[in-house]
Structures are given as structure tokens and as C-alpha cells.
Amino acid sequence: MMESDISIVVLSLQIALIATAVTVPVAMLVALLLSRKNFRGRFVLDVFVSLPLALPPVVIGYVLLWIVGTNSWLGQLEKLLFGSTIAFTWIAAALAAGVVSLPLIVRSFTVALDGVDPRLEAAARGLGAGPLRVFFAVTLPLAYRGVIAGSLLGFVRALSEFGATIVVAGNIPGQTQTVPSAIFTRISSGDMDAAWRLAFVSIALAVVTLGVHNWLLRRALGRMSSNSGIRQ
């Protein structure tokens, strides 16, 4: 690989990691609400979180650009505080990647939490444990395989994001040009060798990540089946 290709891959990994790190806590909170709470507006929350799965990524990028762009109140606030907006920066690229990957992470976390026996959580609360202690001492250890699998799925989705990213962050070499946008640029310019190099790297990263994800998911589903058998 050429030095420019390596820098593109490194930037893509950084953006995907940051996007995943920021999205995971939000996804866990939403998954806990969907899995453990029965409240008015639950269906609306589920639909809202799932929208990025149904909408074209370009639409997601346009909405984000409208939110953080210069003409928005948030963009004006950013310009006042920092002298510029986050649009067309790596932060915007991470934001787009996080929003697009959020539904996949939420769904994986919800499945993992549904596999935890609620009687164990109730027993911990009966012994005096608070909500946070129950979550970290009981719920998370029992659901960790599904949580890791969901995080990996979100990471690989963030790594492959193109449509929303190119609208809100652009395709600026060295700043916001990720592997997908770099492949698009190489194909557009007719540099097929460079496009194939980046494509092979993208495929390799996806295969490794998805392989680990599927292995963890099988383990998590096996635990869910065991718990179901015990309850019966």
C-alpha cells in the first residue's frame, strides 16, 4: 500500500472508532428503555431510532448538514464559540457514521438484554442493589457477548459509511476522505489499481469484524436458548 492509502485507512479507523465509542452509550440507554420499560411513546422511539435503516444515507447527511451547517442555530453557536462549524470536518464524518450505525447497535443490544433473565435482576434489587449496580454487576456481564457483537457491527457499518458522510463532511483528502469516498474518487479518476487496493483493505476489515461478530452472536444466542430452557 502507498503512504496515502495508509493515511486514508488510519483516518477511517479513527472516525469509525470515535463514532462507535460515542454511539454505544446512547444505544445502550435506548436499548434499556426498549427492553425493560413499557411506556407511552415506546413505538415512536423505536421508529425514530430505526429511521436511518429506512432512509437513504444521503437524506441522513442532508438532515445533519441542516442541523450543524452555518445557517442553523447550532451552526451559528458553533461559529460564535469556535470560529467555524463542524460541517466538513472529521467530527461531522464521525457524527454521520454514528447516526447511521445507531439502529444496528440498538437492535443488537436489545436482543442481548432480552436474553438476560429478569429474575436475576430482581433478586439483585431485592438484596439492596441500586439500578447502576444491577446493570454493571448482573445485566452487563450476562449480555456482554451481544453487547460486543453489536458494537462490532456498528463499527463495521461506521467504517463503510459513504452517503451521509460525503454530504455533511465532504471528501477532503487528509481531513474527511475515508476509504469509501477515496474508492469513489479513484474510480471517478480512472485509477483502478488504487481503487482495488482500498477495496481489498475494506473487504479484509469487514470480513474480520463480521467474523468476530457472528461468533459472539452465536455464543449469545446459545446463552439465550439455555436461559429459556431453565425458565421452562
CA–CA separation, 176 vs 8, rounded Å? 9
Can you tell me the distance from the alpha carbon of 94 to that of 100, in angstroms, rounded to the nearest whole number?
A: 10
Distance CA 74, CA 183 (A): 32
Q: What is the structure's pLDDT at 227?
A: 55
Task: Give the model's pLDDT for residue 4.
Answer: 80
Q: In sequence order, what are the residues at sequence separation of 6 or more whose Cβ sits closer than 8 angstroms to the Cβ of residue 147?
A: 28, 108, 109, 112, 140
Q: Between the CA atoms of 219, 29, 66 and 15, what dihedral angle is there, to the nearest 10 degrees?
A: -50
In this structure, what C-alpha cell is assigned to residue 126? 431485592
Residue ranges of the domains in the chain?
3-227
Q: Report pLDDT for 93.
A: 95
Residue (of 169, 223, 210, 216) closest to 12 by Cα position: 169
Q: Is residue 116 within 8 Å of residue 165, measured between CB atoms? A: no
State the pLDDT at residue 185.
93
pLDDT at 47: 92
pLDDT at 225: 60
Query: What pLDDT was estimated at residue 220?
Result: 61
pLDDT value of residue 72? 86
The answer to whether 179 and 198 are in contact (CB under 8 A) is: yes
Task: Classify residue 177 by its DSSP letter.
Answer: -
| pLDDT per residue rounded down to tens, the chain (232 residues) | 677 888 999 999 999 999 999 999 999 999 999 988 888 888 999 999 999 999 999 999 999 999 998 888 888 888 888 888 899 999 999 999 999 999 999 999 999 898 888 889 889 988 888 889 999 999 999 888 889 888 988 999 999 999 999 999 999 998 999 999 999 999 999 989 989 999 998 899 888 888 887 787 677 666 656 555 545 5
- Classify domain 3-227 at the CATH superfamily level: MetI-like (1.10.3720.10)
3-state secondary structure of 190: coil
